[in-house]
Amino acid sequence: MNYPKRVEMVEVSPRDGLQNEPTPLPAHIRLELIERLAAAGLTTIEAGSFVSPKRVPQMAGTESVLAGLSGHAGLRFPVLVPNRRGLEAALAAGARDIAIFVAASETFSEENLNMTIAESLENYAPLAADAGRQGLAVRGYVSCAFGCPGQEPVSPSRVASLAEELLGMGCRQVSLGDTVGAATPGAVGPFLESVLARVPVERLAGHFHDTCGQALANILVAMDFGLAAFDSSVAGLGGCPFAPGAAGNVASEDLLYMLDGMGIETGVRLDALMVAGEFICGHLDRPGRSRVASAPWVRKGREDPPSPSGSDGEHDQG
């Protein structure tokens, strides 16, 4: 196995996570979540999006969130912008990083963006160029890279073409999204082999939802192919309003626990990350989905799980 020595964890819970929650949270709670995530050592944290509050009311007040983050030098707080109006709002709010996305599925693109794939690329090309001239960093997403809610076939060649288009627009990085959580390790390998024949691995990130419990396994395969940046969401928050049945992103706590156990550097502290997850789940009034955060020895701050045998060396017979 050829795993990277360091992995960038891109935290998406304040945007991709909270946008799927039934109850919108006020801006000051979302701001405190981001502050806690930054205190845990995360350096790229999605801060929100400038979409219509009628379509995604959970993201209303993103300008207030950004205003509260103005003092964090060296950290990235990208905001999603779907159109020219969104870019203008992001600029007015002082954003330094934006995110744009296209879908690899025509069905998803038309349902989510009200555009065909070709129209979405035409929409984003001048927008990304203007953002670059204004000094903003741009990150791109390819949604439904591994499958579509409507079961529309998605080919690796289409995904590679879209990634090339986004990089050509000036995106510093493109995140390949398993939006519905349909990918398996057996599919991720051949998929990446095809995409990486055309796109530099250092410009790609992985975005795996955990609908079928495959996210960590998929990340292991992606790391073996050289990917060293992955999106995750504290407490496993998330889903997609336009992909019914999709579960949240891989839980940040679970991803970090795995990377720590492999000796892969991230700069993120598990204890502080768990505190952030507990904080936001308390305000959502529901339990989180992180398996690691629910493990009793992790909650107690122990470094290792209990031995399968009893303290006296004898195995339980229960």
- Would you kindly state where each structural domain of the chain is located, as residue ranges? 8-299
What CATH architecture does domain 8-299 belong to? Answer: Alpha-Beta Barrel (3.20)
Given a cut of 70, the residues of the chain with pLDDT beneath it are 149-151, 239-247, 299-318
| Whether residue 240 lies in the annotated active site | yes
Specify the pLDDT at position 141: 98
292 Cβ contact partners less than 8 Å away, ≥ 6 residues apart: 251, 253, 254, 256, 257, 270, 274, 298
Tokens standing for residue 13: 């819970």
d(C-alpha 186, C-alpha 227), whole Å: 16
Specify the pLDDT at position 200: 98
d(C-alpha 237, C-alpha 16), whole Å: 8
Specify the pLDDT at position 116: 96
Specify the pLDDT at position 242: 52
Specify the pLDDT at position 175: 98
Specify the pLDDT at position 297: 74
Question: 3-class SS at 224?
Answer: helix
Nearest to 176 by CA among 210, 138, 227: 227
Specify the pLDDT at position 165: 98
Tokens standing for residue 216: 């960590």
